[in-house]
A = this chain, B = another copy of it.
């Protein structure tokens, strides 16, 4: 493999007021930034001015499209709403298509309850596939999210999550690297 770096942006998938997912996303960005040869950025769907009078690629945001085009892999931080994904997250994801093809994605489920957002992850799987993304088979799960962060938004039990994140990132980097090779070198 070349020694070039990988670009793996993190999508914060809800604009909800009081969202705890923001702390989760910031933790993830911080952890990625601490690894060698990785670049990242936080893409906050709250800050995107996507039209709501239409859907799909016709309302594409050029900056989001450019980030997805440049990405080698993605992390999606998805709080679980009624066992599904946030509507605005899907609204944004649906604005791109070819940008995603043959790239890796790691899913991070966030839930107020004790099951780590597993259900939003399961609900996203068919969508990821149809977008051309390869979902890795490690997930990040943040259960009981209301209790995980202190008042400054820092993880209370940081070592546990650093350890989990490390295995997740190893797999995401592996898959992102392999698919990048494929995009560049195979047919």
Contact = CB atoms under 8 A, between A and B. Distances in A.
Interface of A: 1, 14-17, 46, 52-56, 58, 81-94, 97, 114-116, 118-119, 122-127, 129-132, 134-135, 137, 141, 143, 174-175, 177-179, 181-182, 185-187
Contacts of A175: 182
B118 A129 contact: no
Nearest to A182: B178
Given A87-B88, A123-B127, 5 more contacts: A82-B94, A83-B127, A87-B93, A181-B181, A181-B182
| Chain multiplicity (copies) | 4
B115 A126 contact: no
| 10 nearest A-B residue pairs (beta carbon) | A87-B91, A178-B182, A87-B90, A83-B130, A84-B127, A87-B87, A16-B55, A82-B130, A83-B126, A118-B118
B122 A94 contact: no
B86 A15 contact: no
A82 B86 CA distance: 15
B56 A16 contact: yes
28 contacts: A1-B186, A16-B54, A16-B56, A55-B81, A55-B86, A55-B87, A81-B90, A82-B93, A82-B94, A83-B127, A83-B129, A84-B85, A84-B90, A84-B127, A86-B87, A86-B94, A87-B88, A88-B91, A114-B116, A114-B143, A122-B122, A122-B123, A123-B123, A125-B125, A125-B129, A130-B137, A134-B134, A178-B182
